[in-house]
Amino acid sequence: MSNLSELLPTGGGQNVVELTADGAITAGQAVALQSDGTIAPITETSVAQAIGTPVAFSSGGASDFSVMFDEASEKTVIVYRDQANSNRATAVVATVSGTSISYGTPVAFSAASANAVNAIYVPSIEGVVVVLTQGSVMRCFTGVVSGTSISFAEQAQFGTGFSSYTAITYNSRDNLIVVAWADGSNSNYGTARAARVSRGSVIWGTAIVFNSATTRYISCAYNYNFDYFAVVYQPNTSSPLTSKVVSFTRSLYSTSADFNTFYGPQGLNVSSPSLSSMAAVPNTDQFIAISQNEFRRGSFSPDYGISWDPLTEYTIPTLITKATVLWLPNSSQYLIVGEDPPDAQAVLATPLGANTLIGSPITLDTPIDQGAAAGYDPIQKKIVVAYEHTDPSTAGKAVVFQNAYSYSNNADFIGFAVDAIADGASGNVNVYGGISENQTGLTPASDYYIKSDASLAEESSILDIASSTYAGNCFNVGVQDFSPQGIAFNTDGTKMFIVGIGNDSVYQYSLTTGFDLNTASYDSVSFSVASQDADPRELEFNTDGTKMFVIGSASDAVYQYSLTTGFDLSTASYDSVSFSVATEDSNPYGFTFNNDGTKMFVSGLGSDSVFQYSLTTGFDLSTASYDSVSFNVSSVFANLGQVKFNLDGTKMFLLDSNTKGIVELNLSTAFDISTASFSSGISIWTDDSLAGVPNQPNSFTFNSDHTKFYVVGRSPNGVAEFTMNPSPTNVKVGKAISTTAINLVDV
């Protein structure tokens, strides 16, 4: 909640305020201020996945579904073509309670058979807008919910000719609807038209043609951040899916200037589409799209439009007829819903920075037909899915799907209870500016945060790769090697080492200030490893720098070297000790050790897996053996590169050099990759504005306390520095002044 201070009672003492408890509170417990002025313990609540019982909304066949949440009435509206009523466009108002759903009376609003029915909720009119083909006319209707019923008014037509494909989206910045369709009066050319909408009228601008050929499988979305409309379509009957982006001119909505073609088509690399659906991810530059069996992510840039990276193709169930892709804000996931015959299926996709984890299909109902459509209810945080059920009789049905998620009230943290407070009683709370003296186990001078589960955590323990930011510091090593591959530092960051395949050598640099790239310079010291491997990919040192290790993908082995002076390459020599990993992977790219060198981990491009090894003597390759433990990431990674761990081995970090992302995984047992699970991630290169960040990252490493990480790669040939930040789900509390006391600082 915002402006917490407005709810604080007056007359509080020295940053101690008397407040009433909603629930029992223990002494020293973190509390949140609620909207009614009471306090409650900070808690994290988990909501389990659930599927309700499907309920029919029509007595016969149904198709062309659209599902949307009506914010004004807090109801869900299902628009469809009612096959039991001459295929007339029909709408029904649904009420969701838990995972149960009930309906008002369906309302048919087209005078005759309708096709290509699509609808969207428009907040400015507190109602829905529907577009469809009726006969040889493109018609538009507005509908307003009252109770459990809905009434419609027909508005101005937007085209002529029959169309099999329509799509509609809403430009919330300018209060415009945008429709894209295959124009039957113009050889089914892809056409788009914007309109300003009110309850009483829809004023159309001039239509523009975005594809001068037969156009099919149209979907569209609007990106609020950049004020652009995007459309995905098949540009002719034999071409792959592609996309186009147009910009809006807000002041001239009634002329052809209401939007102008701005970017040329961008291919999605989907060769045989049979449907499409797309959405914009709020507060980002991201668009998401699906075809019948592929999920795609694309990034928008004012410089080049949407870039659909072919390396972010993910396989999903083969869907037919109709499908929906949505963004779920409660769990920060994408939801894909459709028909994988004969089932209505849902797939949850979790973004991991530049990568995506596709979940297993979830069957919602069976058997079904005519595809499926879905809408998200942000009040109840549930999804309504509509489809045609076919056994024992044909009927339009909907089911409520609850995705799993968790939430916390830690964002409303106000302070710590001085003493225990009974439910309904009043008691004192140390608030910001005060000192809580009934904590335990604190580290003096450390900053502390309240986690979503109400526990106190030092800042160093909650740094999140997904929250990292580019520090703006970079250092070019291209003079030494045109293809730098790996990077390492000494313990205090005053020495940096780069291995490259341009000359198959390791290079040494000095930093007058530890880990500060701005102070780096080349030592004119290098060491060739070409005699061991002509394709060196990464290097590591033991803790005192007297041993160096290099992995090579030419011979698929790790090599060991000795340095008579720690971290001084001029004293390096080959130990004639190597360890082959060829049996596990034919193209190893990265490796690392645990803290004492008794575990080694190798990441391989050949198998897209991480492999675990044991060394009976730390950092002695002659004692290494394979643990027969591996972790495959092929479902998420396009090109597995380097592997790293945090200081205590409870987090593993993997680089995907193709998607230009780093993915973070949690390990329930330290340095045991068999216990790994995906957590989050970051895209380390997004556009040319990140000057100095390699567009082709090859490796990365951390500084000694893991508050920073450094990426090495090509284009440009150098190193870039990133700062690790706490996850935004944690709320800063203050600084510990003793092992039991914390000074609460409002930030």
248-288 pLDDT, tens per residue?
554 434 433 345 455 677 777 677 788 899 999 888 888 89
Structural tokens at position 7: 């709810």
Q: What are phi and psi of 255, to 5 degrees?
A: -125, 180
How far apart are the C-alpha atoms of 278 and 296, rounded to whole Å? 9
On whether residue 17 sits in a domain, the answer given is yes
Question: How many independent structural domains does the chain possess?
Answer: 2
Same domain? For 428 and 538 the reply is no
Query: DSSP letter at 125?
Result: G
Residue whose pair of structure tokens reads 């652009």 in the numeric block? 228
Report the DSSP pairing between strands 395-402 and 368-377: unpaired
On whether residue 685 sits in a domain, the answer given is yes
| Cβ proximity of 579 and 621 under 8 Å | yes
Which pLDDT does position 494 carry in this prediction? 98
| Mean pLDDT, rounded, of the chain | 91
pLDDT in tens, 568-614: 999 999 999 999 999 999 999 999 999 999 999 999 999 999 999 99
On whether residue 140 sits in a domain, the answer given is no
Q: What CATH number is associated with residue 702?
A: 2.120.10.30
Q: Is the pLDDT of residue 7 over 50?
A: no
CA distances from 451 to 21, 360, 622 (A): 21, 29, 44
Same domain? For 498 and 557 the reply is yes
Which pLDDT does position 312 carry in this prediction? 67
Average pLDDT of 620-635? Answer: 96
Report the DSSP pairing between strands 463-476 and 718-726: antiparallel
Same domain? For 612 and 695 the reply is yes
Three-state DSSP at 257 gives helix
As a whole-number percent, the residues of the chain with pLDDT over 70 amount to 94
On whether residue 542 sits in a domain, the answer given is yes
On whether residue 283 sits in a domain, the answer given is no
| Cβ proximity of 234 and 213 under 8 Å | no
As to burial, measured by CB atoms within 10 angstroms (0-12 exposed, 13-18 middle, 19+ buried), residue 396 is buried
Same domain? For 491 and 640 the reply is yes
| Cβ proximity of 81 and 90 under 8 Å | yes
Same domain? For 429 and 562 the reply is no
List, in order, residues 6 or more apart from 584 with CB less than 8 Å away: 602, 604, 607, 609, 611, 626, 630
Same domain? For 595 and 543 the reply is yes
Same domain? For 423 and 525 the reply is no
Q: Give the domain range for residue 481.
A: 463-726
Instruction: Identify the CA nearest to 657 among candidates 712, 612, 609.
Output: 712
Same domain? For 427 and 524 the reply is no
* Chain center to CA of 565: 46
Q: What CATH number is associated with residue 445?
A: 2.40.300
pLDDT in tens, 677-708: 999 999 887 655 567 888 899 999 999 999 99
Average pLDDT of 404-419? Answer: 96
Which pLDDT does position 253 carry in this prediction? 42
How far apart are the C-alpha atoms of 409 and 40, rounded to whole Å? 9
On whether residue 368 sits in a domain, the answer given is no
Same domain? For 550 and 446 the reply is no
On whether residue 666 sits in a domain, the answer given is yes
Which pLDDT does position 124 carry in this prediction? 93
Three-state DSSP at 184 gives helix
Average pLDDT of 219-224? Answer: 91
As a whole-number percent, the residues of the chain with pLDDT over 90 amount to 79
How far apart are the C-alpha atoms of 541 and 490, rounded to whole Å? 8
Q: What's the pLDDT band for 416 if we cut at 50, 70, 90? A: very high
CA triple 539-544-548, angle to 5 deg:
25
How far apart are the C-alpha atoms of 551 and 591, rounded to whole Å? 7
Instruction: Report pTM.
Output: 0.90
Same domain? For 433 and 469 the reply is no
On whether residue 241 sits in a domain, the answer given is no
Which pLDDT does position 258 carry in this prediction? 47
Q: What's the pLDDT band for 746 if we cut at 50, 70, 90? A: low
Same domain? For 578 and 683 the reply is yes
User: Residues of 323-359 as b/e, b for ≥16 C-beta within 10 angstroms?
Assistant: bbbbbbebbebbbbbbbbeebbbbbbbbbbbbbbbbb
Same domain? For 595 and 681 the reply is yes
